[in-house]
């Protein structure tokens, strides 16, 4: 991969979308450090699934802290790939808040903390920002199938049928989240059509798509049209441009 001017690549998507697999592949292609979502070493996650009403706030604070630390480190170096960035944390948090698992006062404090962290990231590295966000879009059926195959007992719909509606709502919210995302240029990959989890040959296809997108952004930058204003990034370099 031509790393030319690229600094940070974000990989986004719902549970089971294949974020970690794509992060692993791209980081090797870039010869860079991957930043993975804290799942395997997360002692709070099983507690959340066992009692969401009690542990939702604690889980989201755990993720927010880890996301902030990972993003800060990634922005301090070049050519990094991030599996689920801090920009997705609010989506997960407010889903649980809307489900009544988090108190209004906790929502207020969380939003204040998130805004403080985002401002800190901006001020600590004003010349650095994510160069591209890649969203892996998958259907609900694919999402649940992959969750089933990876075998974490606390995630299984078979063990807790109420998780079906939770996963359905989460997957739907990612569509709205992607449309509203304007932190940096973005693109979307159809994870059903290009199932790289079951067929690794599709990784090469996805790599080509990402390289093409980056090449377009690079041409715009060289032509003096690259916009570092995050508020304008979506308008200049949305996935469909």
Residue 34: give its domain's CATH number: 3.40.50.300
Establish if 23 belongs to a structural domain: yes
Catalytic residue among 2, 24, 83, 98: 83
- For the chain, list residues with pLDDT below 50: 5, 226-241
**Any domain includes 1:** no
Residues 6+ apart with CB under 8 A from 224: none
The pLDDT, as a whole number, for residue 230 is: 42
Give the per-residue pLDDT at 224.
Answer: 66
Q: What is the pLDDT of residue 203?
A: 95
234 belongs to an annotated ligand binding site: no
**What's the pLDDT score for residue 237?**
31
What pLDDT is stored for residue 238 in this prediction?
35
Dist. CA 183–CA 85, nearest whole Å = 12
Q: Quick one: pLDDT at residue 117?
A: 95
186 carries a ligand binding annotation: no
Determine whether 83 is an active site residue: yes
220 within some domain: yes
- On whether residue 2 sits in a domain, the answer given is no
| 88 is known to lie in a ligand binding site | no
What is the extent of the structural domain holding 118? Answer: 8-237
Counting the structural domains of the chain, the total is: 1
Say if 3 falls within a structural domain. no
Rounded-to-integer distance, Cα 72 and Cα 79, Å: 13
33 is in an annotated binding site: no
């Amino acid at each position: 991969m031509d790393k030319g001017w690229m600094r940070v690549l974000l990989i986004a998507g719902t549970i089971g979308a294949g974020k970690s697999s794509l992060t692993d592949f791209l980081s090797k292609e870039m010869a860079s450090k991957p930043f993975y979502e804290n799942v395997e070493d997360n002692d709070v996650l099983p507690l959340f699934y066992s009692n969401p009403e009690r542990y939702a706030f604690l889980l989201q604070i755990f993720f927010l802290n880890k996301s902030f630390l990972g993003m800060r480190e990634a922005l301090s170096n070049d050519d990094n790939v991030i599996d689920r960035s801090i920009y997705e944390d609010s989506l997960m948090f407010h889903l649980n808040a809307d489900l009544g698992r988090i108190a209004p006062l906790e929502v207020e404090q969380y939003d204040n903390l998130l805004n403080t962290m985002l401002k800190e990231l901006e001020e600590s590295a004003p010349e650095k920002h994510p160069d591209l966000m890649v969203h892996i879009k998958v259907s609900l059926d694919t999402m649940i199938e992959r969750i089933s195959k990876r075998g974490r007992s606390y995630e299984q719909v078979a063990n807790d049928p109420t998780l079906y509606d939770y996963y359905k709502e989460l997957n739907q919210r990612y569509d709205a989240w992607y449309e509203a995302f304007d932190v940096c240029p973005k693109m979307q990959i159809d994870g059903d059509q290009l199932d790289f989890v079951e067929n690794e040959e599709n990784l090469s296809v996805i790599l080509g798509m990402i390289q093409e997108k980056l090449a377009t952004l690079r041409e715009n930058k060289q032509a003096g049209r690259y916009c570092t204003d995050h508020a304008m990034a979506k308008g200049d370099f949305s996935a469909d441009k």
